[in-house]
Structure 1
Amino acid sequence: MTVRPPRRDDPPGDWRLRKVDHPTLDWYRDLYRRVGEEWLWSSRARMNDEGLAAVIHAPGIEVYALVLNGRDEGLLELDFREAGQCELVYFGVSASLIGSGAARFLMNCALDLAWSRDLGRVWVHTCTFDHPSAVAFYQRSGFRPFRRQIEIADDPRLDGTVPRTAAKHVPIIE
């Protein structure tokens, strides 16, 4: 995304966005797991305390929670470390909110935050393990595909990083 797209309407809902200025590691890991486990998010789960803290507390990294009924149910992590651009590093809502409009609200917030700065590019990358509607959602939000690549990673269900019952839409190959 190299230009700010027209803002889409916020869906009805009682969500709000909360900036988490210095996330604790336990809080971050819990929300990361609840949002990303079904999509095999594992890179941050594999980090030790020092490594995780170095990333999420780094200057230029901003962490937000989508809040519903006083509970954090969505994760937004923005990386502004490269001048003139913003990466949506992590973006997602808990399984109970999928299809509710919460992701649209969160994306609207993400784009408002990103484009409130002098940027030339906002970008996100996804993978085949993501929600089947993720790419279409990103495209409706104004992103356009610019590169395809193959990434190979060990299945986090095989080493216990995430439960074997996670991501039923992805076969386990042993």
Structure 2
Amino acid sequence: MPERRTVEKARKDKRAGKSTTTQAGEFVHEEIRKVRRGEHGARSPQQAIAIGLSKARRAGVALRPPRKGKAKASTRKSAEYAYEAGQGKRKPRRRPRVSRAVSRVLKREPRSTASRTALSKQARRAASRRTASARSAAARKAVKTKGAAGRSAAAKKAARTRGRRRR
């Protein structure tokens, strides 16, 4: 079950006209926080992200399941189920035994998968799969919703990063 503040943040993002992936990002953040706090673990950063996306879909974020060929058939099926449940097209059944089993398994997984380095590696790998023009377009789109203060903060951060890399 996602926390109330996560759902509220996602709703706020929706009202601000931000994309569904940005709304879903709030749930991914929550999941990463949970792993870092030690509530449960994850086999990999991708698993933590997947759990967050699934929660987002179930909570009603209109995040479409991946298209054919973009993900495994089982992943797509699971995402479709979560999406339909969130959109009210399907009545999800409570399965306490399955839920308990999943919780137990996740508790045994490592917590280091949500570390800064692990997430940084995952982000770099994901970005490297995209073309330079796609990354640039995403940055341009982000600028539109950031506002003056946000842009200024982002520019300062970018300058700091460039300074560190130069050394």
* Same fold flag (TM > 0.5): no
Higher relative contact order (Cα pairs below 8 Å, separated by 6+ residues): 1
Larger helix percent = 2
TM-score by length of 1: 0.27
